[in-house]
Chain A
């Protein structure tokens, strides 16, 4: 099969051009000044210093916080869902997993947009509340709306990998644990959960990645004053036009996510064995 080694060359060149170079350019923009053209640039760390100002650090912390909350909800709801699905017959499992997958195929924007109709002040939820005799609540443009939107959009990304791990577990292992005297809770934590860690890690990484960097959901459900790190980047590139600062924030975001992924990977026993 030595004949085929040449086959990697097109992709080697392609990935250099369209993956590596753009990243390098972001890095260059982040440490220079001189506007949006690379003609008269000068080295500076001003953009990073600027990010250290309390206002921006707060945006950053808020994004992390929202990201973690979303991951938390996705994890608890998602793990339990995957676990419950696993109890059914294989035939039923396939259909249920298909049902979990379908929303992933439908445009995030369309689903988020639908939440506006549900949550808005005169929306469906409030109409129901009023019919039940409660006073209406302002759901839109709050942390609640943004979290709800994120959890609903990203939940499948948590369920699928966890389900995959759980469904691989050999039933005889659990029986063995019972036979050796472990109760249900012990069996769950010492056997089932441990064996599902690869799925959990993968699910957490994906949902964290998505929720920390999103700018559409906060913009649509949180309003224009709702600022997460994704919105900050978007505004620097689209409306403010400060590409240097925008690049610096992107670099920071990318590094944070890289660190988070590395830490998560450490927890995963399968992956470390691999290496």
Chain B
């Protein structure tokens, strides 16, 4: 009696602990599911039930494309790696010891290596072989890391097989192929099944490898999620909820089916006893039928996806276009746009250096200068741009491309400090950029996660030119930034600054004037200013790469973006200042009425435009930046 009571007490504790653990594991999943039904965009406050995000999900081409890529790659990679892995495992058991050891050890590499090492190895391989990155490279990479798991699940089963079995089958007249399919495969099917399951999950869940080796706008779900985390978008929650539900159903089915088949095989056994024999062959045929059916569907979808429309490849910064405009352009010109995004000019450049090509890219001033110097751009044929007169003449002819031979303005603005009027004292603004070192605001600052902008701030604060190549000035700026990091503990953010500042999470943030406009329209407590010490006047422009073979379509796209109506839609969506005069006026009257930062304050004599840096200076900056980030 005593003992039982103790046991019971024990059990309550156990149950409690297990519940706590599951709560911990499932909390993020539950939150995701709940907020997928939220009527507002907030991920923190539930404001009512709605299915908006599900509707959005199914009309979102980017996400649906990613779902297609994730599923089709996972299916293909699973089929290929299962076949490859299974035949290897079968062959392995009978191979000479040395070959066996080589393969087993090599096979362990992708399992024991961190994802990121596998990923960069493949990235280097594909780049140096000049294989165009995209669907095929992603598939190859997935087969690369899935096959080892299949082999490790199948091989132990093969090893436990009695070798006499296959020989017996062959002695009885079976060909080696028949012995394989009729004797060996059925004996190891559990291992194969485990391998299939593992391969599919590994492939479906993969982010790191796909992220490094993808290209040509091919994205799986993970990559889309990664790109979207910068800005709140509950469509992802809707997607995850669907994924979670599908996985739960699959797992339940997978766990119930064996129970059912067990029952059925018992029945078979009974039938056999009664003399009715269901041939194994028939079942095998059924399986092959299902598998080939899946492959067929995948191939059909694949071909229809590729299509034969003319394509235009565009490379733009993340969250920097109204996606409806792309759809509209595709419809109007009956073409397909492959739209890829980058998170900084530097990463854009690295991508191009690794051999990727595009028709249109949208880089900033100094990067345009660099691309011109390196002869990577094609001249713009202005006569093909019927909307050219819509452009604001005041922001043309800048020093990076003085005659606009290569570049057509897209957005422009400055960099400044966004501050919370209720927290920051008006008096402190006199400090200019050194406001970012005012310890009153310690732990209360977002810095923009960009090498050139960070150094610009420090150099301007110290009274130097932001285009300096003097080592002592750069070193001084480096020390300024390190000191700021130590004393102020700022957080480096990218586009996530937008949601964070709208929510009012911190008092100060370094932002582009356009982001400031977007944020201020949502949060009335904020104001924006450009320090007197000068700032960066930046110009993002559309340029055409000279490798492009779609000159006519590329010009049509540029012209399309210069149309007043389209430019208005784009500026409204992104929040940045449009170089199209009509669009700018429209915005001043509507979305950004009374918002100061929508009109960039240009013309301070201390303001500069970023210039192209020599390889040496660039390397020097990059090194210091890595150190700052690592500090």
Chain A bound to chain B: yes
Q: Which of chain A's residues have a CB closer than 8 A to the CB of B492?
A: 223-225
Q: Which of chain A's residues have a CB closer than 8 A to the CB of B87?
A: 7, 10-11
- CB-contacts of A209-234 with B (<8 A): 209, 212-213, 215-216, 220, 223-225, 227, 230-234
Write out, one digit per residue, whether chain B residues 156-182 have a CB within 8 A of any chain A CB (1) or not (0): 000000010011001000001000100
Please, which residue of chain B has its CB at the minimum distance from the CB of A242? Answer: B622
Tell me the bound Cα distance from A65 to B564 in angstroms: 55
Flag the segment in B48-56, B286-294, B343-351, B569-577 that touches A: B343-351
Q: Does B116 lie within 8 Å of A227, measured CB to CB?
A: no
Q: Does A111 lie within 8 Å of B29, measured CB to CB?
A: yes
Q: Which of chain A's residues have a CB closer than 8 A to the CB of B95?
A: 5, 8
Q: Given A55-B630, A254-B117, answer yes or no on A80-B222 (Cβ-Cβ < 8 Å).
A: no
Write out, one digit per residue, whether chain B residues 123-153 have a CB within 8 A of any chain A CB (1) or not (0): 1110110000000000010001001000100
Tell me the bound Cα distance from A157 to B247 in angstroms: 18
Tell me the bound Cα distance from A25 to B120 in angstroms: 10
Q: Which of chain A's residues have a CB closer than 8 A to the CB of B176?
A: 3-4
Q: Which of chain B's residues have a CB closer than 8 A to the CB of A122?
A: 44, 503-505
The verdict on B5 contacting chain A, using a C-beta distance below 8 Å, is no
Tell me the bound Cα distance from A237 to B622 in angstroms: 12
Q: Which of chain A's residues have a CB closer than 8 A to the CB of B112?
A: 209, 257-258, 261
Tell me the bound Cα distance from A254 to B118 in angstroms: 10
Please, which residue of chain A has its CB at the minimum distance from the CB of B443? Answer: A138
Tell me the bound Cα distance from A108 to B255 in angstroms: 23
The verdict on B192 contacting chain A, using a C-beta distance below 8 Å, is no
- Point out which of B29, B35, B96, B151 has the most chain A C-beta atoms below 10 A from its C-beta: B29
Tell me the bound Cα distance from A114 to B582 in angstroms: 41
Flag the segment in A93-101, A162-170, A171-179, A192-200 that touches B: A93-101
Q: Does B128 lie within 8 Å of A25, measured CB to CB?
A: yes
> How distant is B106 from chain A, measured CB to nearest CB, in Å?
5
Please, which residue of chain A has its CB at the minimum distance from the CB of B619? Answer: A242
Q: Which of chain A's residues have a CB closer than 8 A to the CB of B353?
A: 36, 241
Q: Which of chain B's residues have a CB closer than 8 A to the CB of A112?
A: 28
Flag the segment in B14-22, B267-275, B396-404 that touches A: B14-22
- Find A113's partner among B125, B236, B506, B629 (CB 8 Å cutoff): B236
Q: Does B31 lie within 8 Å of A107, measured CB to CB?
A: no
Q: Does B114 lie within 8 Å of A227, measured CB to CB?
A: no
> How distant is B57 from chain A, measured CB to nearest CB, in Å?
14
Q: Which of chain A's residues have a CB closer than 8 A to the CB of B299?
A: none
Q: Which of chain B's residues have a CB closer than 8 A to the CB of A223?
A: 491-493
> How distant is B224 from chain A, measured CB to nearest CB, in Å?
9
- CB-contacts of B82-106 with A (<8 A): 84-85, 87-88, 90-96, 99, 102-103, 106
Tell me the bound Cα distance from A50 to B620 in angstroms: 13
Q: Does A109 lie within 8 Å of B117, measured CB to CB?
A: no
Q: Does A105 lie within 8 Å of B205, measured CB to CB?
A: yes
Q: Does B91 lie within 8 Å of A4, measured CB to CB?
A: yes
Tell me the bound Cα distance from A258 to B618 in angstroms: 35
Tell me the bound Cα distance from A33 to B26 in angstroms: 47
Q: Which of chain A's residues have a CB closer than 8 A to the CB of B251?
A: 98, 101-102, 105
The verdict on A201 contacting chain B, using a C-beta distance below 8 Å, is no
Please, which residue of chain A has its CB at the minimum distance from the CB of B124? Answer: A25
Q: Does A6 lie within 8 Å of B505, measured CB to CB?
A: no
The verdict on B354 contacting chain A, using a C-beta distance below 8 Å, is yes
Q: Does B125 lie within 8 Å of A110, measured CB to CB?
A: no
The verdict on B300 contacting chain A, using a C-beta distance below 8 Å, is no
Q: Does B26 lie within 8 Å of A224, measured CB to CB?
A: no
Q: Does A120 lie within 8 Å of B44, measured CB to CB?
A: yes
Q: Which of chain A's residues have a CB closer than 8 A to the CB of B123?
A: 237
The verdict on A272 contacting chain B, using a C-beta distance below 8 Å, is no
The SS class assigned to the A binding surface is: helix
Q: Which of chain B's residues have a CB closer than 8 A to the CB of A152?
A: 24-25, 27-28
Q: Does B144 lie within 8 Å of A18, measured CB to CB?
A: yes
Q: Does A237 lie within 8 Å of B212, measured CB to CB?
A: yes
Q: Given A21-B125, A85-B18, A102-B251, answer yes or no on A110-B240 (Cβ-Cβ < 8 Å).
A: yes
Q: Does B347 lie within 8 Å of A239, measured CB to CB?
A: yes
Please, which residue of chain B has its CB at the minimum distance from the CB of A215? Answer: B116
Please, which residue of chain A has its CB at the minimum distance from the CB of B30? Answer: A114
Tell me the bound Cα distance from A232 to B93 in angstroms: 41
Please, which residue of chain B has its CB at the minimum distance from the CB of A29? Answer: B124
Q: Given A11-B103, A85-B18, A212-B114, answer yes or no on A156-B503 (Cβ-Cβ < 8 Å).
A: no
Tell me the bound Cα distance from A117 to B118 in angstroms: 31
Q: Given A55-B627, A138-B443, A216-B207, answer yes or no on A121-B503 (Cβ-Cβ < 8 Å).
A: yes
Q: Given A1-B94, A19-B144, answer yes or no on A107-B222 (Cβ-Cβ < 8 Å).
A: yes
- Point out which of A5, A100, A152 has the most chain B C-beta atoms below 10 A from its C-beta: A5
Q: Does B225 lie within 8 Å of A209, measured CB to CB?
A: no
The verdict on A115 contacting chain B, using a C-beta distance below 8 Å, is yes
The verdict on A187 contacting chain B, using a C-beta distance below 8 Å, is no
- Find B43's partner among A38, A111, A117, A258 (CB 8 Å cutoff): A117
Q: Does A77 lie within 8 Å of B21, measured CB to CB?
A: yes
Q: Which of chain A's residues have a CB closer than 8 A to the CB of B432?
A: none
Please, which residue of chain B has its CB at the minimum distance from the CB of A123? Answer: B44
Tell me the bound Cα distance from A9 to B90 in angstroms: 12
Q: Does B29 lie within 8 Å of A103, measured CB to CB?
A: yes
Please, which residue of chain B has its CB at the minimum distance from the CB of A261? Answer: B112
> How distant is B145 from chain A, measured CB to nearest CB, in Å?
9
> How distant is B501 from chain A, measured CB to nearest CB, in Å?
11
> How distant is A57 from chain B, measured CB to nearest CB, in Å?
9
> How distant is A43 from chain B, measured CB to nearest CB, in Å?
18
The verdict on A71 contacting chain B, using a C-beta distance below 8 Å, is no
Across the A-B interface, the 3 shortest Cβ-Cβ residue pairs: A22-B121, A7-B91, A224-B492
With A115-B28, A223-B493 given, name 18 new contacts (CB 8 A). A3-B170, A5-B95, A7-B87, A80-B17, A84-B14, A87-B10, A88-B14, A99-B25, A103-B29, A106-B243, A118-B27, A118-B31, A123-B43, A124-B44, A209-B112, A225-B485, A237-B123, A250-B117
Question: Would you list 20 pairs from A and B whose C-beta atoms are within 8 A, ordered by A residue?
Answer: A1-B94, A4-B90, A8-B88, A11-B84, A18-B144, A19-B109, A102-B247, A103-B25, A106-B205, A110-B240, A111-B29, A113-B236, A215-B208, A224-B492, A224-B629, A239-B347, A239-B350, A240-B622, A254-B117, A257-B112
| Chain A contact residues, CB within 8 Å of chain B | 1-12, 14-16, 18-23, 25-26, 29, 36-38, 53, 55-56, 58-59, 77, 80-81, 84-85, 87-88, 94, 96, 98-118, 120-124, 127, 138, 141, 152, 155-156, 209, 212-213, 215-216, 220, 223-225, 227, 230-243, 246-247, 250, 253-254, 257-258, 261
